[in-house]
Amino acid sequence: MTDLLAEMKRVKARVDGLILNQLLPESSSIKEVGLLYRMMRDYPMRQAKGMRPFLCVTTCRAAGGKEDDALLTAACIELFQNWILIHDDIEDGSELRRGEPALHRKYGDALALNAGDALHARTWEAILLNGRSLGLERTFAVMEEFSHMVNETTEGQHMELGWVVGKRWDLSEKDYYEMCTRKTSWYTVASPCRLGALVAGSRGGMLDQLREFGISLGIAFQIQDDCLNLAGDQKKYGKAKSDDILEGKRTLILLHLLAVASQGEMDRVISIMNKKRESKSADDVSYVMSLIDKYDAIGFARKRATELMKEALFTLRGIDWKGDRDAAEMLTSFARFAVEREW
Amino acid sequence: MTDLLAEMKRVKARVDGLILNQLLPESSSIKEVGLLYRMMRDYPMRQAKGMRPFLCVTTCRAAGGKEDDALLTAACIELFQNWILIHDDIEDGSELRRGEPALHRKYGDALALNAGDALHARTWEAILLNGRSLGLERTFAVMEEFSHMVNETTEGQHMELGWVVGKRWDLSEKDYYEMCTRKTSWYTVASPCRLGALVAGSRGGMLDQLREFGISLGIAFQIQDDCLNLAGDQKKYGKAKSDDILEGKRTLILLHLLAVASQGEMDRVISIMNKKRESKSADDVSYVMSLIDKYDAIGFARKRATELMKEALFTLRGIDWKGDRDAAEMLTSFARFAVEREW
């Protein structure tokens, strides 16, 4: 695991250089625009794991490509992650991100929303730069994957927000997986891996296997994220504890709780979850948390995450890598990390 | 002028078909996602002038290209316009868009913000489709122009929002032009024309001339928009009357008023403009409007718009068109329409 963390850190440092280079305030002649660039650089400069660039670069190497060829695409995935987080924080009304106030808490919703759009545009600008080194055809394949990834992510985000706005609780475990596949799996695991493979020139079967790997592991990753939100160490995790309860999120933990709780408990949980964030009291949160403990809903979710991780590992073992064996091995370590991490 | 309007309508109808085709809800297997597609189709289905697709297609023809080759790119400009309007309406807290409630008033901020992102992603997806018909190289040139256009627009949007948030009124006519160039000129005139020319295969000098034409005419267009916001017929115009005063916008009209008003009038106008939207009374708005009348600030702005339109026409006359002369003539009519329109 130490190797994995060191490797993630190494790749992140390389990618960060590219990202910050892409967001230089000097590129505008107008003084006022300086703040926009500071805002775009804000999230990228906060502490982060750098999982997605790691997955892109490592898959590229495992598939027989060169790390240097994948760096720019890896940076673009990180740029994507940063703009979507800015918007996600506005949509969810989140307070904290990576241990600091969310961007819209620092600058207001309007400027933050626009900074997210600016960063979205910069993502595409950076992808286009690939044209020079990868050639037009391979760059096109990268862009098509990116486009698919953004579509999936916004659909998943819509499903989750729509459930909250529509006060929907008639949801199954399967609904949760469908939502997670779109909201999390594509941009967290499937596309980063597939983009690395595309840069390496892979086509066909391997891309299907990476999709399958990515979807299972992405859901497992999200379940672990939900567990950490409720039961993790806030300092390590970097988001406000129990935020998911305040935001009314339909996590697997909550859905399982509703499936096993008594009618009275269920009614009270739903009425609490349907309240607006600012109307939820500390007692409300404690009550929901006490039931989560009573029914060991986190234990249930962790079990599911482990099963999904094992499915992902099974798929991974089936891939016929053409490149660096160490890199392929590192992907196995990553799959374990995704559900065992505490941050 | 009748010819121009008929031609804009004709092009818009062709482009609308492509846009709605790109946003088919059936492309998702998940029922909940249907609403996302309805939201993405909402603004595109409202009445609109279709100026930008017209400029793209007409410039392509004037530059010697085929209309059919430019249609998809024209549709992408319209897709871009629609997502940026969704976000712009959230940022400004606007009530109406094209005569109906703004998207966030219908569905709430969170879902509307995400629908804007989804539409942004669809814009790039649609641009990529150009690869098949235009070839990779020309499609790349189109994408680079698009990327530049989004960067300019988000920078301009940042300037304008930053002035409101920072309560800045120490602004000159030049500051206003700088902001308008970025916020309006690029995506309204310069890029639609340049994209048409790029599709036709133009390079070099003509693109510079179209930038110059687009910047002057775009500012003139925005000034006329500001005038209509305060003095237009709301039914024709489709936005809430005097919204710019409620939103605290730094229009040329307001900046001129502040430059010529007495100290006492200036102080009162600034204190009104700095109030939050919901704290502005009808009397506040009437007071500002009475001073605008007193100093004929709208007359001043209209004069500037006419001057800028003439500069744009001068640049346009210098272009050595290789293609359809009627199309080139139509661009001249459009320039006049941009400042003479009542909607």
Contact A97, A83 (CB under 8 A): no
Which residue, among B298, B297, B295, B273, has the nearest Cα to B284 in the 3D structure? B273
d(CA A72, CA A85): 20
How many C-alpha atoms does A166 have within 13 Å on its Cβ side?
A: 14
Residue B194, pLDDT above cutoff 70 = yes
B-chain CB neighbours of A143 within 8 Å are 124, 128
Contact B103, B89 (CB under 8 A): yes
Q: Is B178 on the interface with A (CB under 8 A)?
A: yes
Q: What are the phi and psi torsion angles at A100 (to 5°)?
A: -130, 165
Contact yes or no for B124 and A109 at CB 8 A: no
Average pLDDT over chain B reads: 92
Number of H helices, E strands in chain B: 17, 2
ipTM > 0.90, yes or no: yes
Q: What is the pLDDT of residue B330?
A: 96
d(CA B7, CA B309): 21
d(CA B332, CA B330): 5
Widest Cα–Cα separation across chain A: 63
Residue B25, pLDDT above cutoff 70 = no
Residue B27, pLDDT above cutoff 70 = no
Beta carbons within 10 angstroms of residue B150's beta carbon: 26
Q: Which amino acid is at B286?
A: S
Give the angle B10-B12-B13 at the CA atoms, nearest 5°.
65
Q: Is B120 on the interface with A (CB under 8 A)?
A: yes
d(CA A82, CA A123): 10
Rounded mean pLDDT for each run of 10 residues along chain A, 343 residues in total: 88 91 70 89 90 97 97 95 96 90 96 97 92 90 96 95 91 95 97 98 94 98 93 66 85 96 95 91 93 95 97 97 95 95 79
Q: How, if at all, do strands B96-97 and B100-101 pair?
A: antiparallel
Q: Is A208 on the interface with B (CB under 8 A)?
A: no
Contact A248, A278 (CB under 8 A): no
Residue B206, pLDDT above cutoff 80 = yes
Question: Which residue carries 């940042």 as its tokens?
Answer: B158
Residue B204, pLDDT above cutoff 90 = no
Q: Is B81 on the interface with A (CB under 8 A)?
A: no
CA–chain centroid gap for B34, Å, is: 28
Contact A191, A145 (CB under 8 A): yes
Nearest CA in chain A to B174: A30
Q: Is B117 on the interface with A (CB under 8 A)?
A: yes
B-chain CB neighbours of A91 within 8 Å are 109-110, 113-114
B-chain CB neighbours of A35 within 8 Å are 158, 162
Nearest CA distance, B160 vs chain A (angstrom):
10
- What are the tens digits of pLDDT across the range B211-266? 999 999 999 999 999 999 888 666 666 666 778 898 889 999 999 999 999 999 99
pLDDT band, very low/low/confident/very high, at B144 (cuts 50, 70, 90): very high
Q: Is A286 on the interface with B (CB under 8 A)?
A: no
Select from A115, A144, A162 the Cβ nearest to the Cβ of B111.
A162
B-chain CB neighbours of A113 within 8 Å are 87, 90-91, 113
Q: Is A249 on the interface with B (CB under 8 A)?
A: no
The model carries a pTM of 0.92
Contact yes or no for B36 and A144 at CB 8 A: no
Pick the residue with more confidence: B47 or A78?
A78
Nearest CA distance, B287 vs chain A (angstrom):
27
Which residue, among B161, B39, B160, has the nearest Cα to B110 in the 3D structure? B39
Contact yes or no for A32 and B114 at CB 8 A: no
A-chain CB neighbours of B91 within 8 Å are 109-110, 113-114
Q: What are the phi and psi torsion angles at B101 (to 5°)?
A: -55, 140
Q: What is the pLDDT of residue A231?
A: 82
Contact A258, A292 (CB under 8 A): no
* Cβ pairs bridging A and B (under 8 Å): 151
Convert A63-74 to b/e letters by CB count within 10 Å (16 or more is b).
bebebebbbbbb
Q: What is the pLDDT of residue A334?
A: 97
Q: What is the pLDDT of residue A169?
A: 92
> Which whole-number Å values give the CA distances from B260 to B220, B223, B226, B256, in the listed order?
21, 18, 18, 6
3-state secondary structure of B54: helix
- What are the tens digits of pLDDT across the range B288-305? 999 999 999 999 999 999
Burial of B135 (0-12, 13-18, 19+ CB in 10 A): exposed
Beta carbons within 10 angstroms of residue B266's beta carbon: 16
Q: What is the pLDDT of residue B247?
A: 85
Nearest CA in chain B to A93: B110
d(CA A120, CA A126): 10
Q: Is B324 on the interface with A (CB under 8 A)?
A: no
Q: How, if at all, do strands B96-97 and A96-97 pair?
A: unpaired
